Amino acid sequence: MAEASRTGKALGQPVKRVDGVAKVTGRARYTGDFDVPGVIVGRCLRSPHPSARIVSIDTRQAKALPGVHAVLTGADVPDTLHGRLCRDVPILAKGVVRFVGDRVAAVAADSIDIAETALELIEVEYEPLPAVFTAEEAMRPGAPILHPEKIEVGAGAAGGHHAELLMYPPIPNVISRLRLGHGDAASALAGAHRVFEHSFTVPGVHQGYIEPHACVVAIGADGIIDIWAANKGPHIARAQMAPAIGVPENRLRFNPVYIGGDFGGKGSLMDLVLCYHLALAARRPIKMVMTSFEELTAGNPRHSASITLRTGLDHDAKIQAIDARIVFNGGAYAGFIPGPTLHGYSELAGTYRVPHCAIEVLRVYTNTVPRGHMRSPGAPQVQFAVESHIDMIAHEWGLDPLEFRRRNAIAEGDPTPLGEQRRHMRCRETIDAGARVFGWDKPRPPGVGRGVSIYEHPSGSSGRSTVVLTMGKDGRITILLGAPDQGAGFHTMAAQLVAEHFGLSMTEVDVVLGDTLSTGFESGAGGQRLTMTAGQAIADAAGKMKVMLAALAAERLNCAPSDVRMDADGSFSASGTIIDLKSLMDWAASRGKASLSAKGESATKPPDVTGFVAHFAEVEVDRETGQVRVRRIVTAHDIGTVINPILHQGQIEGGLVQALGQAMCEQIVLKDGAVITALLGDYKLPTIMDIPELETVLLPGGPGPAPFETAAIGEMSNVAVPAAITNAVFDAVGVRLVELPVSPERVLAGMSEKADAA
């Protein structure tokens, strides 16, 4: 069958979100909004100690309180440990607690008030134990060991190309050590003209979704366990939960929900296993909604990191080698992320031509809040270090930071620092496009500084998607999806792609989110993959359905299927006769074929093209107070075909302001291991007053790796922003910040240090 090119009737159009009306009218139901018959609430008691032995727990008074249906402690639940890769998370503390916020006991009660009162009636005697709060402390010989028992590691803990991965190596508290590289960095550094070394510290930040974690578990009389959970990947969650509770996967039904923001943080089971055990014990459906306090103190925020970089240059200021040591503080449990470590290392210096590269990544247990995934996990930490380091080298060498980057920018034909070959390297073009709009060369007013920072990241391919398309006799198509839209626009994008494949308009496509019993495996959002994986699954299903349609059309038009041509508007023709989709389906229905159905799956091949971004920041520094104001940002993106300009721009703007928060005001502050930025009044998310003037520059025409040459955008906008800002602060007042966030205290201290030295 011949096929016409695309119509653009749906693809590339700023169509309204398919979930839009539900969201603006309050009809969209999030996990906490579900009212299951007979449901009562679950709450848990958390540890006040960072490390302690539980001597005794007395729950008698709590159990006696009217309205309490169940009280559980570690002794009442199985010893099973769960986790996404490393299975180290207990259902409730078993004898020891490992961070301030660790779950010690849980209550099911008629109301939150009763549950809270019951928690206060539980008496726990603790014997405090030595604790470690930083990764460096935790790795020292003789440090107290958080998990002395052997931790089971799930399948898939592979280091990848040119990599050596050790899970639980013989270093105290180390979860994983990954060493990888390309070439011979040690020799290249030894032979370099000049070598620069700098170290950086990046604190943890919270994903900041406005909907806290929530779940509902109802154990049905039919043996089916119904679940509603603020989890972006219900099929993955089901696969984790089934072994954790010893129930076959096909008895767990994760029901459709709306998700109130994710940003990488809603991929773990969080309270689900505990909620199940409360439901078992209380013989009632249970709803657990974390408070904002619990989210901030005991969620799964971004890993804090310390990073040291050494870079060798030749006589022409060209990079010869980079050596990196990255240490991530993983907190008390490793089970909140799906891999052995965070992927930020894989794009380290991906914007530069680096002939020799050596990277070591350590992920370490400490007695602090367990860390999880957040938008491009590991990359903002690593990229803050790399792009500050590059700026420092340029200044120490005496080169304009933009010129230094252009001189070393990776170009077509260059291998990446890790030795991979990719096509279509538009690094320098992206820098230049942004610099032009920003006016890099224009004179700066006094007190104003300008900084640049760049980043490279291919579209994601780490997951799998499955979709089912059904065409009814009216020619309308329904797409059945297996994961919620966490906000980025997955469902709308899917509808647009389906419409485009069949030359339909958006109004002729219906999106249905199924439960985990009615849908095929879908990884859901994460690692900026859905444009790739869902795009491929949709293309696969559309291709299969077109074959069926061509066979029908051939039958109708009395010709061979190979003679049928499908036009862009979805009609079929052969030797001058045309039949539109609706008439064809109507005819098929009259012959007993009421609908057509096709299942599509994604391919798993990683893309061989990548994407670049360049951010330019202009800041103004108050010399009296050290206060920094970000006046203006220009963000330039090397993109593929845009599916929906509103959603696309939404990813750019949202990621950018999230990064602005990380740069300027957000920080999880720990005191003796406890999170003390425990309310949203203390943990400062950016407000509408904090946003700078923003200009976006798009470089279209890139061959995106996904169907219709589309490409991912979700993790391109946030990663490199903080360094653009700190580089601008240096440009303004000569103060180099090697730690985030940009606080007035740090800037002021830096300025007075400079004044003292002068």
**Measured at the alpha carbon of residue 384, what is the angle toward residues 692 and 684, in degrees to the nearest 5?**
50
**Closest CB to other proteins among 622 and 690?**
690
What is the C-alpha to C-alpha distance for residues 675 and 30, in angstroms, rounded to an integer? Answer: 27
Q: 507-512: long-range contacts at Cβ-Cβ below 8 A with a sequence spacing of 24 or more?
A: 508/475, 508/476, 508/477, 509/10, 509/476, 509/477, 509/478, 509/479, 510/476, 510/477, 510/478, 510/479, 511/18, 511/478, 511/479, 511/481, 512/478, 512/479, 512/480, 512/481
d(CA 230, CA 289): 10
Q: How far is the CB of 537 from other proteins (least distance, A)?
A: 22
Q: HSE on the CB side for 351, CA within 13 Å?
A: 28
466 versus 658: smaller Cβ distance to other proteins: 658
574 is a site residue for other proteins (CB under 8 A)? no
Nearer to other proteins, 97 or 657 (CB): 657
Distance between CA atoms of residues 554 and 549, nearest Å? 8
- Provide the minimum distance between the beta carbon of 475 and other proteins in the complex, in angstroms, as a whole number: 25
What CA–CA distance (Å, rounded) separates 310 from 321? 8
Q: Considering the complex, state which of residue 401 and residue 714 has its C-beta at the smaller distance from other proteins.
A: 714
Nearer Cβ to other proteins (126/263): 263
Residue (34 or 587) nearer to other proteins, CB: 34
Residue 583 Cβ vs other proteins, minimum distance, rounded to whole Å: 31
Residue 26 as a binder of other proteins (CB under 8 A): the answer is: yes
Say how many CA atoms lie within 13 Å of 474 toward its Cβ. Answer: 7
Backbone dihedral region for residue 424 (phi beyond 0: left; psi -120 to 50: alpha; all else: beta): left
Please state, in angstroms and rounded to a whole number, the distance separating the CA atoms of residues 747 and 750: 5
Of 484-492, 594-602, 721-729, 742-750: span binding other proteins (CB under 8 A): 484-492
Q: Which of 486, 516, 533, 677 binds other proteins (CB under 8 A)?
A: 486
Instruction: Give the nearer residue to other proteins in terms of CB position, either 258 or 384.
Output: 258
Q: Which of 4, 24, 64, 749 binds other proteins (CB under 8 A)?
A: 24
Residue numbers 29-48 binding other proteins by CB under 8 A = 29-30, 32-33, 35
711, 459 contact by CB (below 8 A): yes
Closest CB to other proteins among residues 158, 679: 679
Closer of 568 and 685 to other proteins (Cβ): 685
- Complete DSSP assignment for 568-613: TTS-EEETTEEE-HHHHHHHHHHTT---EEEEEE---PPPSB--EE
Length in residues, the chain: 758
Interface pick for other proteins out of 8, 23, 128, 169 (rule CB under 8 A): 23
Member of 159, 261, 380, 401 binding other proteins (CB under 8 A): 261
For residue 470, the tally of other CB atoms under 10 A from its CB is 17
User: At its nearest, how many Å lie between other proteins and the CB of residue 263?
Assistant: 7
Q: How far apart are CA 319 and CA 311, in angstroms?
A: 7
Instruction: Pick from 6, 28, 247, 739 the residue near other proteins by CB under 8 A.
Output: 28
Q: Assign 3-state DSSP to the chain and report helix, strand, coil percentages, each to 5.
A: 30, 25, 45
**Contact present, 668 and 680 (Cβ < 8 Å):** no
What's the order of all strands across the beta sheet hosting 572-574? Answer: 2-3, 565-566, 572-574, 577-579
Which backbone phi and psi does 322 adopt, to 5 degrees? -130, 135
Q: Which of residues 710-739 bind other proteins (CB under 8 A)?
A: none
Among 448, 680, 738, 751, binds other proteins (CB under 8 A): 680
Per-residue contact string for residues 85-104; x = within reach of other proteins by CB under 8 A:
--------------------
Residues 599-658, interacting with other proteins (CB under 8 A): 646-647, 649-650, 653-658
**Residue 506 found at the interface with other proteins (CB under 8 A):** no
Cis ω before 722 (30° cut-off from 0) = no
Looking at the Cβ atoms of 553 and 678, the one nearer to other proteins is: 678
Which of these ranges, 75-83, 286-294, 592-600, 727-735, lies near other proteins under the rule CB under 8 A? 286-294
Transcribe 608-631 into DSSP letters: SB--EEEEEEEEEE-TTT--EEEE
Residue 441 neighbours by CB distance under 10 Å: 10
Interacting residue with other proteins among 2, 4, 8, 21 (CB under 8 A): 21
State how far the Cα of 561 lies from the Cα of 548, in Å rounded to an integer: 9
Considering only the stretches 16-24, 125-133, 550-558, 591-599, report the one whose residues sit in contact with other proteins under the rule CB under 8 A: 16-24
For the bound state, the minimum distance from the C-beta of residue 745 to other proteins, rounded and expressed in Å, comes to: 23
The closest alpha carbon to 198, from 28, 407, 390, belongs to 390
- Residue 446 has which token pair? 């006094």
User: How many CB atoms are located within 10 Å of the residue 624 CB?
Assistant: 9
Task: Confirm or reject binding of residue 260 to other proteins (CB under 8 A).
Answer: yes
Distance separating alpha carbons of residues 618 and 438, to the nearest angstrom: 9
CA distance linking residue 242 with residue 620, whole number of Å: 54
Tokens of 19: 């979930």
Local structure of 166: helix, strand or coil: strand
Q: Nearer to other proteins by C-beta: 88 or 211?
A: 211
* Residue spans of alpha helices (H) in 228-335: 234-245, 272-282, 292-298
Q: Is 12 in the site for other proteins (CB under 8 A)?
A: no
Could you say which of 688, 755, 757, 758 contacts other proteins (CB under 8 A)? 688
The CB-of-388 to other proteins minimum distance in angstroms stands at 23
655, 656, 660, 663: CA torsion to nearest 10:
80
To other proteins, the closest distance from the beta carbon of 640 in angstroms equals: 20
**Which residues are 479's β-sheet partners?**
469, 511
Residue span binding other proteins (CB under 8 A) among the ranges 19-27, 126-134, 325-333, 593-601? 19-27
Residue from 689, 755, 757, 758 binding other proteins (CB under 8 A): 689
State which residue, 260 or 626, has the beta carbon closest to other proteins: 260
Host H or E run for residue 128: strand 123-128
| Min CB(232)–other proteins separation in Å | 10
Nearer to other proteins, 262 or 323 (CB): 262
**Could you say whether residue 16 binds other proteins (CB under 8 A)?**
yes
Q: Is 317 helix (H, G, I), strand (E, B) or coil?
A: coil
Under the criterion CB under 8 A, does residue 155 sit at the interface with other proteins?
no
Q: Which amino acid is at 722?
A: P
Q: Which is nearer to other proteins, 434 or 626 (CB)?
A: 434
Which range in 140-148, 202-210, 594-602, 669-677 contacts other proteins by CB under 8 A? 202-210
Residue closer to other proteins, measured from CB, 26 or 223: 26
Kindly state whether residue 292 participates in binding other proteins, applying the rule CB under 8 A.
yes
- The closest alpha carbon to 128, from 190, 202, 51, belongs to 51
Look at residue 107 and give its three-state secondary structure: strand
Minimum distance, C-beta of residue 534 to other proteins, in the bound complex (Å) = 17
Does 384 sit near other proteins (CB under 8 A)? Answer: no
488 binds other proteins (CB under 8 A): yes
Give me the amino acid identity at 62: A
Site for other proteins in 205-244 (CB under 8 A): 207-212
Cα maximum dimension of the chain:
91
Determine which residue in the list 262, 271, 347, 618 makes contact with other proteins, applying CB under 8 A.
262
Query: Tokens 């302690």 label which residue?
Result: 52
Binding test (CB under 8 A) with other proteins, winner from 239, 568, 676, 685:
685
Nearest alpha carbon to residue 22 among 260, 226, 233: 260
Closer of 207 and 366 to other proteins (Cβ): 207
* In the complex, minimum distance from the CB of residue 490 to other proteins, in angstroms, rounded to a whole number: 11
Size of the site for other proteins (CB under 8 A): 57
Choose one: 154-162, 258-266, 405-413, 578-586; the region binding other proteins (CB under 8 A).
258-266
Q: Which residues bind other proteins (CB under 8 A)?
A: 14, 16-17, 19-30, 32-33, 35, 207-212, 258-263, 291-293, 486-489, 646-647, 649-650, 653-658, 679-681, 685-689, 691, 694
